[in-house]
């Protein structure tokens, strides 16, 4: 499809990427979402915690929400979407990836950008247990890459899956990692790495045969983390093998479900390779919107309802 011309205009104070990103990540609050937790047990012995919120009346539509790196289902970029969709008659299932719900997961592995087997387990569980005729999936950052890979890599998808929305999507993981490790993103990268290492620490004791103290101490940046842990724990040969195989960009030409990508041009986390203009022009089901502003998941708008949230609702209602 032709590239979508974005109508997003932020408040004057939120035009800078750093301001919109930090405000949205650290200061935004969303009230009024009542979540109910369901534990989904996986075939490999692990689990996912799903946090549900519901429309006022019984609904036949549901949105699955996927968070970003070291996020969880209570982050405002998740609850903001849940609240808006609930208010418009759509249930919301907010997924906590393995180890992200406040309780350590059972296995040495955890989650990563390309772990579509876990997303499929959620979709199949919802189809078994509920009577929804329309399923939508919205992913943020890491979760955005995951859902685009999911719909692009599979020959068959449930007919109930009607649309996908991905926001601040690192379509090319290698160059995204390079960008995140650049000087301009130093403070973000340090914060991410600290969270990841704190979560990895208990696995030193739980799985000493998998992770040595020397390996743990060798992790100095995000690339090291993916080399030492992410790749080895999830069956990849190296960090770069993981980046190559888990990136969604190679799968974009194969997407057959209406899919909207919203990537701000001033997102400091994204490389040039994360704006798949050619793929969008050549695939009638792939819609690419590139607002001038928005930072990384920082599409601040009126009444504490973010642009990417009401844009997602409009996208599915226009189908």
- The dihedral through the CA atoms of 47, 48, 49, 51 has a sign that is negative
Q: How far apart, in Å, are the Cα atoms of 200 and each of 7, 42, 185, 209, 242?
A: 41, 21, 22, 14, 18
- The pLDDT tens digits of the residues spanning 215-229 come to 999 999 999 999 999
**What pLDDT score does 55 carry?**
98
What is the rounded average pLDDT of the residues 110-138?
97
pTM (two decimals): 0.98
Per-residue confidence band for 2, with pLDDT thresholds at 50, 70 and 90 = confident
Average pLDDT, the chain: 97
**What pLDDT score does 1 carry?**
63
Q: For the chain, how far is it from start to end, CA to CA, in angstroms?
A: 14
Which domains can be identified in the chain, with CATH numbers? 12-171+248-317 (3.40.50.1820), 173-246 (no CATH)
Instruction: Kindly tell me if the per-residue pLDDT of 98 is higher than 80.
Output: yes
Provide φ and ψ at 81, rounded to 5°.
Answer: -65, -45
- The pLDDT tens digits of the residues spanning 55-73 come to 999 999 999 999 999 999 9
Distance, in Å, from the CA atom of 101 to the CA atom of 71, rounded to the nearest integer, reads 9
- The helices-and-strands tally (H runs, E runs) of the chain is 12, 8
Instruction: Kindly tell me if the per-residue pLDDT of 116 is higher than 80.
Output: yes
Q: How far apart, in Å, are the Cα atoms of 54 and each of 59, 62, 83, 287, 295?
A: 8, 9, 9, 28, 30
- The pLDDT tens digits of the residues spanning 139-182 come to 999 999 999 999 999 999 999 999 999 999 999 999 999 999 99
- The pLDDT tens digits of the residues spanning 235-251 come to 999 999 999 999 999 99
Distance, in Å, from the CA atom of 1 to the CA atom of 21, rounded to the nearest integer, reads 29
């Amino acid at each position: 499809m032709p590239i979508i011309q974005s109508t997003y205009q932020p408040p004057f104070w939120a035009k800078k990427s750093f301001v919109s990103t930090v405000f949205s990540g650290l200061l935004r609050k969303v009230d009024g979402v009542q979540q109910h937790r369901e534990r989904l047990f996986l075939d490999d012995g692990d689990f996912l915690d799903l946090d549900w919120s519901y429309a006022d009346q019984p609904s036949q539509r549901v949105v699955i929400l996927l968070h970003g790196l070291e996020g969880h289902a209570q982050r405002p970029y998740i609850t903001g979407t849940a609240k808006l969709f609930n208010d418009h008659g759509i249930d919301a299932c907010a997924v906590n990836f393995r180890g992200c719900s406040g309780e350590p997961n059972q296995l040495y592995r955890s989650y990563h950008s390309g772990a579509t087997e876990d997303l499929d387990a959620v979709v199949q569980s919802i189809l078994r247990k509920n009577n929804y005729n329309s399923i939508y999936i919205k992913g943020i950052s890491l979760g955005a890459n995951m859902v685009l890979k999911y719909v692009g890599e599979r020959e068959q998808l449930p007919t109930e899956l009607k649309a996908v929305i991905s926001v601040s999507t690192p379509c090319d993981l290698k160059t995204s990692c390079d960008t995140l490790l650049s000087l301009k993103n130093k403070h973000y990268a340090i914060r991410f790495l600290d969270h990841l290492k704190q979560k990895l620490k208990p696995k030193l004791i739980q799985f000493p045969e998998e992770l040595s103290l020397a390996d743990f101490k060798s992790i100095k940046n995000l690339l090291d983390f993916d080399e030492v842990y992410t790749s080895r724990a999830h069956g990849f040969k190296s960090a770069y093998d993981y980046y190559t195989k888990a990136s969604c960009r190679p799968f974009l030409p194969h997407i057959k479900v209406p899919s909207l990508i919203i990537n701000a041009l001033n997102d400091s986390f994204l490389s040039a390779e994360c704006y798949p203009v050619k793929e969008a022009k050549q695939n009638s089901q792939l819609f690419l919107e590139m607002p001038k502003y928005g930072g990384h998941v920082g599409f601040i708008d009126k009444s504490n309802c973010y642009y990417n949230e009401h844009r997602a609702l409009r996208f599915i209602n226009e189908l």
